[in-house]
Amino acid sequence: MRRPSPTARLRVALVAVLVLAGAACGVVGGQAAPKTARQLTATVPAAADRPTPGGTVTRRCGSHYAEDFDPGVESRTVTAGPVSLVASRVSPVPSGASPARMFKVMVRLAAGSQATLRTATAGTALLYDRARFRTDNIYRLADGDRSVRFVGCRDRSAVFSGAILTTGPRTVDLDVVVAGTQIPAKVAAYTN
C-alpha cells in the first residue's frame, strides 16, 4: 500500500481545519447558521444565590445561562423597564403528590441593570434559587420566594432561568422594582 505524499497529507489536513473552522463559526453548507441565543455555563455556584440561609435570593452575572432569549419568543415577551420576561407552559403533573405546579419564566436583564422581581398574586412564589431546583418537579409553594433580586452583567444582557410556583393561578401579577421605582408586569403561562 502506497503512502500519500506529504503534500497530499497537508492538503487533507488543511481541508479538515477549514471544515472545522467553518462549523465553529456557524457556517453550514456555505451559509451562516441561523442566530440562536449564545448559551453559557454558569460560573457562580448555585449556593451563592442565597448566601445566608433564609436570606434574599440574589441572582448575579455569572449565574445566568444566556445573553438573550432564543428567537421566536418575541410575541410572548413582557417588558418592564430593563427587565424582560418570557413564560413557558405549566409543567405536567409530576408523578406523586405535588402541592404546587410550576411554569418556567426566563428573566432577561439589560446590561448594567439591577432589579427586584416580586409576586403580587396569592398562591404563587418565585423559584430562582438554583439550589432548590428539582429534577422531579415536585414542589411546595414554600420552596419559592415572594421576591428575588437580579444583578446583571456590566457589559452585556443576561438571561436567568427560573419559574413561578403556583397552586392554581396561571396569570401572575408581578412588581418589577428598579432604582426604587415599581413597574407592574403580568405574565401568563404559555398555552400555544
Instruction: Kindly state the percentage of the chain with pLDDT values over 70.
Output: 77
Quick: pLDDT tens for 1-44.
566 555 544 444 433 433 333 433 333 334 343 444 445 566 78
Q: What is the DSSP letter of 190?
A: -
Residue 93 corresponds to which amino acid?
V
DSSP secondary structure, 84-125, as one string? EEEEEEEPPPPSS--SBEEEEEEEEE-TT-EEEEEE-STTEE
Chain segment 112-171, per-residue pLDDT in tens: 999 999 999 999 999 999 999 988 888 999 999 999 999 999 999 999 999 999 999 999
pLDDT for res 47: 87
Tell me how far the alpha carbon of residue 100 is from its chain's centroid: 21
With CA atoms as reference, report the closest residue to 85 among 192, 181, 190: 190
Specify the pTM: 0.76
49-77 pLDDT per residue, tens: 998 888 899 999 988 888 888 888 888 99
Residue 92 confidence class, pLDDT cut points 50, 70, 90: confident
Provide CATH code, domain 46-188.
2.60.40
Q: Please report the pLDDT score of residue 192 as a whole number.
A: 75
Bridge partners for 177 per DSSP: 116, 182
In 167-178, which positions are buried (b, 16+ CB within 10 angstroms) versus exposed (e)? eeebebebebbb
Structure confidence at residue 6 (pLDDT):
54
Instruction: Look at residue 29 in the predicted model and tell me its pLDDT.
Output: 39
- Whole-angstrom Cα distance, residue 161 to residue 148? 12
